[in-house]
């Protein structure tokens, strides 16, 4: 992959274009060393985020909920998140249950 490949790719983020253009104006060894440091720091941040997510999910499971896209979803007796249907049924009014039971 060349510099032109990255810069001309429509999927390249504006951040990467800016960073690459700035790096090209620097000493290539210094720029590469800084890029390695940046990668190391960002990979560490990913590890921290994954650990935090795993810990949060473990706490949520003990509390009887599941975290899906930052929403707390009650878990069923099997430990599986309740479906929309079961949540809807649990919150249905007596009138709506009577209608559902007719059919």
Of 60, 59, 54, 91, whose CA–CA distance to 73 is shortest? 60
> Do 77 and 59 fall within a single domain?
no
Same domain, 71 and 28: no
Q: Minimal CA–CA distance to 70: which of 49, 87, 53?
A: 53
What is the reported pLDDT for 85?
Answer: 43
Same domain membership, residue 5 and residue 48: yes
What is the domain range of residue 18? 1-63
pLDDT of residue 6: 93
| DSSP 3-state of 27 | coil
Q: Do 19 and 55 sit in the same domain of this protein?
A: yes
pLDDT at 56: 72
Pair 39, 79 in one domain: no
pLDDT value at position 16?
Answer: 94
**H or E element, residue 74:** strand 71-74
Q: Tell me the mean pLDDT per 10 residues along the chain, length 103.
A: 93 94 96 92 84 71 61 52 47 51 47
Are 34 and 74 members of one domain?
Answer: no
Q: d(Cα 75, Cα 95) in Å, to the nearest integer?
A: 26
**Do 74 and 56 lie in a common domain?**
no
Do 54 and 20 share a domain, yes or no?
yes
Report which of 26, 23, 20 is spatially closest to residue 7, judged by C-alpha positions: 20
Same domain, 70 and 30: no
State how many domains the chain has: 2
What CA–CA distance (Å, rounded) separates 52 from 70?
13
Are the beta carbons of 46 and 39 closer than 8 angstroms? no
Q: Which pTM was predicted?
A: 0.49
What pLDDT score was predicted for residue 65?
Answer: 61
């Amino acid at each position: 992959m060349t510099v032109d490949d990255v810069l001309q790719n429509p999927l390249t983020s504006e951040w990467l274009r800016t960073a690459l253009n700035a790096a090209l104006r620097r000493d290539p060894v210094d720029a590469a060393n800084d890029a390695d440091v940046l990668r190391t720091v960002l990979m560490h941040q990913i590890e921290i985020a994954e650990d935090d997510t795993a810990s949060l999910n473990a706490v949520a499971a003990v509390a009887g909920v599941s975290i899906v896209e930052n929403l707390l979803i009650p878990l069923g007796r099997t430990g599986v998140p309740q479906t929309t249907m079961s949540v809807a049924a649990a919150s249905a009014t007596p009138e709506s249950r009577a209608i559902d039971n007719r059919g």
